[in-house]
């Protein structure tokens, strides 16, 4: 007699128990879905508008959900954690599919159509994949447990983590031992395809048939109860991120990394006379829809925390805690952001380097909460003396130094004033015009552009601050005033190309001014000078010196420009990379307004970065940002390491090694 290769699934479970199981299963599923829905609403999010948004943007939702959810695009950048998450996710997926196939075949197809699908070669493949899924899941869970026990990476481990991992691991192991018992009681040669459960079945040797069946029924009930307990706990635990993160990833805003939200348009307000608009967020419920979705999507993994320079320097800002606090307050109703989510000092501590954004595996933007708090603090006039002075100077003189804007004309002795017919402007920037150290770099850039044959001009006193820092400090009105004035100047001279030495100016022109009408190609001086080197219009010699390169946050991580700076450094010296480079570069500490005021902290971000540079053994620290130059040179002076490593802009490297 030929053995029929088919599934003997649930062979020993009475039909009454199966019916009860499925009734409870669907009740549990209903409970979980309702609880997710209620918690979603409690967070100030409405389900129907959310679904409408998803349906309207379904292509982007699907692409992002697959890219960052299913394929863990960001998770896999961290090898251990990435593999661990992939194993847990795909192990769970395989077992979910296996369970669904059993339900489809045993409870639907067989009773109503008279045949099942778990037969023949398909069933043999099913057996292999079911065991493989279990192995992958168990291995991933053991890795997760070991990662938290070993404590090599600082994680905010709480009792719930061990409960979740332990129960999930117990559920997976129960499945193996239950399957092994079934093989022992109903052994078929083809069950050898269950490569884990087949050898495991021999541990039951000596167990008689009747006792084995009774034990199987009890074991099966325990397994089902474990699954129910885990499912019921799901909406209240960290595992809820499996649902919330998928939504958060899918609806993530498709915006440029360096672009802040625009709460109002000043030109429209001036025209209409209506200034009744809200700027910033005072309470958690004042946050935008996307910020609320971000908060409840947080997995509490701590990657943002480990990357944050404010955390490393010992401020009271922690992006993980901020997002978790927003989530906690959302679940509990509402509350002020300052006090319940962060302190005022924490709000001002953010350098807006976006290391947290780069690291987050579910596309959360933690630094956006700080920016919303800053906007509200400005509205309430809760500013430090330094921040107030900065904004007053910007209003009175259109530059943060409070210097006469006519002083910008001093550089006109090195380059011509922009005129009709010349569509390229070298945007000097406030640091390049008024800071003595970076003024020298500006002159070097001007000389190199001239030697390279670039036709350009300067705006002189017609140049005003871009307003970038004002916006990130929360003063949206002052920012937009400067935007309107600068765009008017660009239109006056029909500017088509902007070259700037400040990555912050570059980012604002490239990513934020277009919303207000700017149409121009924007280039950092590293790109312009690198192109001139490649074209042979500038020739340099390579020295025996070793240099390391600091990637400015707003040039590299936020705008993706890494190659031009490296081309220049490699052409003039021997480049030795720091461990934290490119997208993982560590901030100098000057961004987000931190250059202009002080926050309470234990250590200096710039000193931490300087120590990272010193570890390379390089004698030159190449930079490409005026704030980085100032911050890192100051760190070198206070650390008394100026004789060990010199801070030089990439333009200075070219100038020093230029072949005339």
Condensed to tens digits (0 to 9), the pLDDT of residues 485-528 reads 999 999 999 999 999 999 999 999 999 999 999 999 999 999 99
Q: Is residue 7 part of a domain?
A: no
Do 35 and 96 reside in the same domain of the chain? yes
Do 523 and 543 reside in the same domain of the chain? no
Do 517 and 565 reside in the same domain of the chain? no
Q: Which residues contact 351 (CB under 8 A, 6 or more apart)?
A: 309, 310, 553, 587, 589, 590, 591, 592, 594, 605
477 close to 275: Cβ distance less than 8 angstroms: no
Do 542 and 523 reside in the same domain of the chain? no
507 close to 560: Cβ distance less than 8 angstroms: no
At 261, phi and psi to the nearest 5?
Answer: -70, 155
Do 633 and 600 reside in the same domain of the chain? yes
Q: Is residue 388 part of a domain?
A: no
Q: How far lies 252's CA from each of 148, 364, 560, in Å? A: 29, 8, 20
Q: Which residue has the higher pLDDT, 484 or 48?
A: 484
Do 375 and 409 reside in the same domain of the chain? no
- pLDDT (0 to 100) of residue 87: 92
Angle between helices 120-150 and 159-185 (to 10 degrees): 150
What is the SS3 assignment for 504-547? HHHHHHHHCHHHHCCCCEEEEHHHHHHHHHHCCCCCECCCCCEE
467 close to 483: Cβ distance less than 8 angstroms: yes
- pLDDT (0 to 100) of residue 200: 94
Average pLDDT rounded to a whole number, residues 315-332? 93
Instruction: Please tell me the total number of residues recorded for the chain in this structure.
Output: 660
Average pLDDT rounded to a whole number, residues 240-262? 83
DSSP SS3 for 119: strand
Q: Is residue 6 part of a domain?
A: no
Residue 399 and residue 393: Cα distance in Å, rounded?
A: 6
- pLDDT (0 to 100) of residue 2: 52
- pLDDT (0 to 100) of residue 3: 61
* Position 9 confidence tier, pLDDT thresholds 50, 70, 90: low
- pLDDT (0 to 100) of residue 180: 92
Average pLDDT rounded to a whole number, residues 445-460? 96
Residue 221 and residue 448: Cα distance in Å, rounded?
A: 78
Over the stretch 399-442, which tens digit does the pLDDT of each residue have? 999 999 899 999 999 999 999 889 999 999 999 999 999 999 99
Q: Which residues contact 16 (CB under 8 A, 6 or more apart)?
A: none
DSSP SS3 for 457: strand
Count of the separate structural domains present in the chain: 4
Average pLDDT rounded to a whole number, residues 3-32? 77
Domain membership of residue 439 as a residue range:
393-531
Q: Which residues contact 150 (CB under 8 A, 6 or more apart)?
A: none
CATH number at residue 555: 1.20.1050
Given a cut of 60, is residue 1 above it in pLDDT?
Answer: no
- The dihedral over CA atoms of 508, 407, 454, 505, expressed in degrees to the nearest 10, equals -10
Q: Which residues contact 564 (CB under 8 A, 6 or more apart)?
A: 524, 526, 527, 529, 530, 531
CATH number at residue 97: 1.20.950
At 69, phi and psi to the nearest 5?
Answer: -90, -65
Over the stretch 126-136, which tens digit does the pLDDT of each residue have? 899 999 999 99
At 497, phi and psi to the nearest 5?
Answer: -135, 135
189-193, 409-413, 546-550, 571-575, range with the lowest pLDDT: 189-193
* Position 12 confidence tier, pLDDT thresholds 50, 70, 90: confident
Using alpha carbons, select from 502, 552, 527, 508 the residue that is nearest to residue 354. 552
Helix or strand holding residue 87 (H, E): helix 79-104
Do 398 and 486 reside in the same domain of the chain? yes
Average pLDDT rounded to a whole number, residues 612-627? 96
Distance of alpha carbon 509 from its chain centroid, rounded?
23
DSSP SS3 for 557: coil
Last residue of a domain, one of 382, 404, 431: 382
Do 176 and 47 reside in the same domain of the chain? yes
Please give the share of the chain, as a percent, with pLDDT higher than 70.
99
Do 366 and 234 reside in the same domain of the chain? no
216-225, 348-357, 384-393, 447-456, range with the lowest pLDDT: 216-225
Q: Is residue 255 part of a domain?
A: no
* Position 20 confidence tier, pLDDT thresholds 50, 70, 90: confident
Q: How far lies 371's CA from each of 342, 349, 478, in Å? A: 12, 11, 15
* Position 260 confidence tier, pLDDT thresholds 50, 70, 90: very high
The neighbouring-strand residues paired with 424 are: 497
Q: Is residue 513 part of a domain?
A: yes
152-166, 469-483, 619-633, range with the lowest pLDDT: 152-166
pTM above 0.85? Answer: yes
CATH number at residue 512: 3.40.50
Over the stretch 281-310, which tens digit does the pLDDT of each residue have? 999 999 998 899 889 889 888 899 999 999
554 close to 351: Cβ distance less than 8 angstroms: no
Do 526 and 541 reside in the same domain of the chain? no
Over the stretch 95-131, which tens digit does the pLDDT of each residue have? 999 988 888 887 778 777 777 788 888 888 989 999 9
204 close to 184: Cβ distance less than 8 angstroms: yes
């Amino acid at each position: 007699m030929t053995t029929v290769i088919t599934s003997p699934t649930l062979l020993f479970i009475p039909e009454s128990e199966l019916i009860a199981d499925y009734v409870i299963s669907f009740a549990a599923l209903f409970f979980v879905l309702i609880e997710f829905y209620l918690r979603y609403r409690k967070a100030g999010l409405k389900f129907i508008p959310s679904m409408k948004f998803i349906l309207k943007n379904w292509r982007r939702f699907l692409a992002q959900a697959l890219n960052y959810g299913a394929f863990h695009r960001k998770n896999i950048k961290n090898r251990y954690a990435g593999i661990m998450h992939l194993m847990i996710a795909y192990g769970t997926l395989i077992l979910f599919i296996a369970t669904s196939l059993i339900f489809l075949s045993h409870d639907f197809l067989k009773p109503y159509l008279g045949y099942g699908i778990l037969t023949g070669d398909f069933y043999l493949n099913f057996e292999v994949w079911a065991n493989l899924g279990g192995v992958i899941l168990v291995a991933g869970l053991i890795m997760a447990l070991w990662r938290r026990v070993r404590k090599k990476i600082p994680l905010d481990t709480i009792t719930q983590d061990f409960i979740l991992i332990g129960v999930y691991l117990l559920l997976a192991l129960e499945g193996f031992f239950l399957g092994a018992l079934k093989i022992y009681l109903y052994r078929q040669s083809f069950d050898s395809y269950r490569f884990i459960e087949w050898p495991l079945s021999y541990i039951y040797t000596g167990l008689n048939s009747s006792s084995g069946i009774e034990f199987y029924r009890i074991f099966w009930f325990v397994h089902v109860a474990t699954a129910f307990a885990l499912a019921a706990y799901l909406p209240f635990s960290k595992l809820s991120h499996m649902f919330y993160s998928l939504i958060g990833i899918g609806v993530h805003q498709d915006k440029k990394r360096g672009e802040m939200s625009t709460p109002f348009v000043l030109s429209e307000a001036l025209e209409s006379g209506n200034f009744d608009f809200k700027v910033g967020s005072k309470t958690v419920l004042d946050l935008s829809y996307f910020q609320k979705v971000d908060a409840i999507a947080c997995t509490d993994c701590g990657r943002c925390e480990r990357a944050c320079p404010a955390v490393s320097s010992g401020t009271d800002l922690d992006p993980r805690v901020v997002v978790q606090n927003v989530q906690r307050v959302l679940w509990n109703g509402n509350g002020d952001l300052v006090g319940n989510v962060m302190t005022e000092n924490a709000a001002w501590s953010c350098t807006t380097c976006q290391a947290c954004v780069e690291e987050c595996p579910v596309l959360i933007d933690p630094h956006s909460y700080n920016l919303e708090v800053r906007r509200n603090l400005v509205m309430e006039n809760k500013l430090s003396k330094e921040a107030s002075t900065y904004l007053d100077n910007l209003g009175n003189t259109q530059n943060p130094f409070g210097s006469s804007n006519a002083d910008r004309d001093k550089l006109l002795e090195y380059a011509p004033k922009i005129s009709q017919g010349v569509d390229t402007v070298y945007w000097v920037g406030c640091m390049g015009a008024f800071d003595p150290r970076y003024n020298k770099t500006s002159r070097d850039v001007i000389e190199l552009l001239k030697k390279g044959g670039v036709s350009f001009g300067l705006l002189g006193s017609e140049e005003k601050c871009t307003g970038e820092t004002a916006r990130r400090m929360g003063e949206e009105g002052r920012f937009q005033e400067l935007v309107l004035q600068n765009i008017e100047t660009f239109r006056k001279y029909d500017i088509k190309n902007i070259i700037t030495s400040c990555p912050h100016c570059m980012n604002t022109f490239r990513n934020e001014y277009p919303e207000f009408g700017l149409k121009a190609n924007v280039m950092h001086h590293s790109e312009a000078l690198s192109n001139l080197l490649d074209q042979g219009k500038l020739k340099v010699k390579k020295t025996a010196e070793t240099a390391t390169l600091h990637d400015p946050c707003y040039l590299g991580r936020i705008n993706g420009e890494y190659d031009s700076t490296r081309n220049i450094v490699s052409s003039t010296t021997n480049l030795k990379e720091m461990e934290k480079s490119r997208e993982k570069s560590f901030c100098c500490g000057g961004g987000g307004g931190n250059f202009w005021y002080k926050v309470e902290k234990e250590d200096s971000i710039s000193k931490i970065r300087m120590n990272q540079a010193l570890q390379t053994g390089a004698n030159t620290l190449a930079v490409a940002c005026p704030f980085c130059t100032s911050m890192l040179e100051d760190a070198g002076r206070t650390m008394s390491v100026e004789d060990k490593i010199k801070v030089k802009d990439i333009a200075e490297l070219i100038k020093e090694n230029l072949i005339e």
